[in-house]
């Protein structure tokens, strides 16, 4: 039993682990776009770090620089999450 290792992991009482190199505060409220500081409109994720922005905002941003505005990680693609629409008329249909 390695009891020493377990205790070492819990040296600080804070629940959140310290992010590496985090000097910039992210907006606390989820659902806000860090670029326009408004409500997320067509939420889209950056391919590398999965930070969330408006699709329009991050698309314009990506046209200038393909790096996350929050953590500066370069990304190669934007993951656009479309609004949930139930499949209609496709797939299993009754005959
Ligand atoms: Zn936005
Ligand atoms: Zn990011």
pLDDT of 28: 45
Which range (16-25, 28-37, 47-56, 78-87) has the least confidence?
16-25
Phi-psi region of 59 (alpha: psi -120 to 50; beta: other; left: phi over 0): alpha
Q: Which CATH architecture has domain 31-83?
A: 2-Layer Sandwich (3.30)
What distance in angstroms lies between residue 15's CA and the mean position of ligand 1's atoms? 30
What distance in angstroms lies between residue 69's CA and the mean position of ligand 2's atoms? 6
**Percent of the residues in the chain that have a pLDDT greater than 70, as a whole number:** 53
Tokens for 89, please give them: 């008329």
Question: Percent of the chain scored above 90 by pLDDT?
Answer: 45
Reported as a single tens digit per residue, the pLDDT across 59-88 is 999 999 999 999 999 999 999 866 555 566
Q: Give 77's contacts (C-beta < 8 A, 6+ positions apart).
A: 47
Name the closest ligand to CA 19: 2
Question: How many angstroms separate the Cα of 6 from the Cα of each of 1, 13, 15, 20, 52?
Answer: 10, 13, 15, 21, 34
Give the three-state DSSP class for 71: coil
The domain spans of the chain are 31-83
Q: What is the reported pTM? A: 0.56
């Amino acid at each position: 039993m390695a009891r020493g290792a377990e205790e070492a992991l819990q040296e600080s009482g804070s629940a959140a682990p310290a992010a590496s190199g985090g000097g910039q505060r992210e907006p606390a409220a989820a659902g806000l776009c860090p670029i326009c500081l408004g409500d997320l409109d067509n939420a889209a994720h950056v391919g590398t770090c999965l930070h969330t922005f408006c699709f329009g905002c991050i698309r314009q941003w990506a046209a200038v620089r393909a790096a996350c505005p929050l953590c500066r990680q370069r990304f190669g693609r934007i993951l656009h999450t479309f609004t949930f629409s139930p499949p209609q008329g496709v797939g299993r249909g009754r005959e």
